[in-house]
Structure 1
Amino acid sequence: MGVCRPDAAPESAARLRSFLEAGRHGQMGWMAEREGWRGSAAALWPDARSVVMLAHSYAPDHDPLTDLKDGAKGAVSVYAQGRDYHDVVKKALKRVARWMVAETGCEVKVFVDTAPVMEKPLAQAAGIGWQGKHTNLLSRDFGNWVFLGAIFATEALAPDSPEAEHCGSCRRCLDVCPTDAFPAPFQLDARRCISYLTIEHRGPVDPALRPGLGNRIYGCDDCLAVCPWNKFAVTASDMRYHGPHRAPDLADLARLDDTGFRARFSGSPIKRIGRDRMIRNVCYAIGNSGLAALKPVVQDLCEDADAAVADAARWAVERL
């Protein structure tokens, strides 16, 4: 954990503006709609005098890149293989926040990813780590497998020293990206990012990008997994993060209707994207698998009621 003032990352607003003007947020219109708050923590809650940033490890007990080798299975981002982190992290933050209120009498607000807070610049300002060339937060002490949470407080707490960048000449995270989503070091174009394409993007994915998805059906960990600083990562102690959704069978997923999808992914962050977007992703993965035995599975989806699923299924049939 670390502490910073709400105005400790003044460059965030200009960087966000540049990102939005370039259209790199894709369909994530909420980033532009709440730009004023997102660009300034002080504007989000003017009464706040301190921001306590906390990092919670979800480091895997395996190399996520190994899940890319089995074409019959779907690769799911490590953060989504177990329970929804929003619930787990927020409960932990609320416990800390209640203690802060009891100790100081201050007012607090707790945020975990769902509010317009620029967690990563604030975490760097609070000395937890720095934003690497892949734009994610990393640390020499625990690598980059962390969830971030913020506690805004009306109490003026002593701020920590900001962390400096320690990436050096390394560019492993940039070179490993299957879809070239990094226009330059420390810059991300979400429109080419597999995490964005499989989770946030609605409708068909650009055919030119589909082969790069491989068997990734929910998110992508490549740039995180290759970071050398992960040699210091400590495997997540909260077993709720090590869940049942690591490498599901693509054929089983392809047969899910809406009810089956909701039942299977209850309590998981995967549930948020809905059945149609998941099955679209599954079709892309099957099309990339090279496994002719899976062709009948996607043939059954070529006339799916969802246009993007039907399009993805026809693409997969042609690929196979």
Structure 2
Amino acid sequence: MIDKGEYSFSTCWNIKKHTVGRGMIEEIKELGFRNVELNYNVTEDMMTTIEPMIEKGEIGVSSVHNVFPFINDKDYDTDSVMLGFDDEAKRKRSVELLIRSMEYANRYGAKAVVVHPGEVPFDYNIDVDLKKLYRDHGKDSPEYQKLWSIMIERRDRLSPLYTQRIQESLEIVSEHAARKGWDIAIGIETRSRSYQMPSLMEAKTICENLAGSPVYLWYDIGHAMMMDRMGLYDNLKELQEVKKYIYGVHIHETLELADHWCPYVHSKDLHYFDHFLEAIDYAKVKVYELKALCEPNEIHESHNLITSKIAARKG
């Protein structure tokens, strides 16, 4: 099996088919990965068989995904207001949970914690309706544009407030990490729903305002492609502005509005994903975040294309 070197692989690929942690990690190792990202569905029970593998050096941990390990609480799942909660007690709890994730990251020698920092809250998941209109009628249709304008008006109006809250929460976490002497990046991830934060410019604001802290951008390529298609931001243009804030990347490709596919292989487009090779090369942590439908041969093919193209770019 081809050694995947510095590249890491998220457990989101095969977590649903395993109940024992060791088996899940062994399957990822068979793909040639020496490092994993432990995603937010990994349980404490699974870690009882994974921790010995980490201690023996059988597997490295590149990153953990907040909230880690898994907690069964909808208020703090991956799609929540999280670090921006209006409710002080909930926001405090979100901060505590991120610190807990960082403690685990520190214990496992991980370089980063991936964070979904928050969102502009809506009464319902307006993004589901937007994506349905996009698929049924297209981005330029009056139906889509009407609902989009409702969403974006509220999002733009409340974004400064929630950006400030998220920033304050991250400041508390950063100060705690400094006191502990942890050398762990906090990567705020580009998201997959239009009302979620941060956009690339929101991430830039937070990173600039927290300069000197361990807060960076975690550039999720597939999510950014999706938000570009929906009209939230100009991904390729703004990527140039935020590139220097990137610490880690989630590598996957979006087909229309469906994410977590193997780059190049599933889109059959051998050129568009080239736009993201520089960001992948630049990132200190490079993680494949693929769906269960991606087959091992497709994963290998995709990885070979990415690495050979990056090597060719360097001449």
TM-score if structure 1 supplies the norm length? 0.25
Higher helix share: 2
Structure with max Cα Rg: 1
Tell which has more relative contact order, 1 or 2 (C-alpha 8 A, sep 6+): 1
Higher strand share: 2
